[in-house]
Every structure is written in C-alpha cells, then in structure tokens.
Amino acid sequence: MNGAGGTGAGVGRCSACGRAATQVKTLLQGRAQGSQVVICDRCVRECEQTIADAPTRIPGGAHACAYCTKVEEHVAVIVGVGAKKICDECVDAYRAALG
C-alpha cells in the first residue's frame, strides 16, 4: 500500500491538515472517481475519535463528504477534519485500509 508505484504518486499533502507525506505514515486518496483529495492516517484516527466520542453536526447548510462526495442526508454523520469534511463511511473504509 505505501511504497513505490502506489496510486498516490504525485500527491504529497493531506488535504485536511496540510501535513506533507513525509510527516505522516500514510496518505490515502479520496474514494470518489478522479478525486483530488487525500487524507493522512492521523486525520483518519482523529475522525474515528470524533465519531466515537460525540459526532457533532456541523452547523449550517448542506454538507458533502470531500472524500466520496456523498451528501449529509445519505450518510450517518459528517464531521469536520482540518479544512475538509468527511463522512463516517469514509472514516470506516480508511480505518480498515490502515489496519
């Protein structure tokens, strides 16, 4: 998954927290086709914690997950992580990918 020739070639920075690939263990690409966003393992853990603790709804209008593009009404919860928003389904999938 990490290492040379991965799918993340050329993607160098977490879209949520802005950490560079060298500062984190893993960068995971967005799940939507042609997605330009990536998330690091640290953000995934952080989101996992947020959802486990008390998922607070982000105030304001309609929100969409930056990683799969699903809107709030199609997922259980969307949480904010750094500059991005992510849904519980993506957090689950990324957590599984991280092992």
Give the residues lining the site for Zn ion (CB under 5 A).
14, 16-17, 40, 43, 65, 67-68, 87, 90
Q: How far is the CB of 86 from Zn ion (least distance, A)?
A: 6
Q: How far is the CB of 4 from Zn ion (least distance, A)?
A: 22
Q: Which amino acid is at 90?
A: C
Q: Which is nearer to Zn ion, 53 or 83 (CB)?
A: 83
Q: Which is nearer to Zn ion, 6 or 23 (CB)?
A: 23
DSSP for 7-75, please give it.
TTTT--B-TTT--BGGGSS-EEE-SSTT---EEEHHHHHHHHHHHHH--PPPPSS--B-TTT--BGGGS
Query: How far is residue 46's CA from residue 14's CA, in Å, rounded to a whole number?
Result: 13
Q: How far is the CB of 75 from Zn ion (least distance, A)?
A: 6
Q: Which is nearer to Zn ion, 9 or 66 (CB)?
A: 66
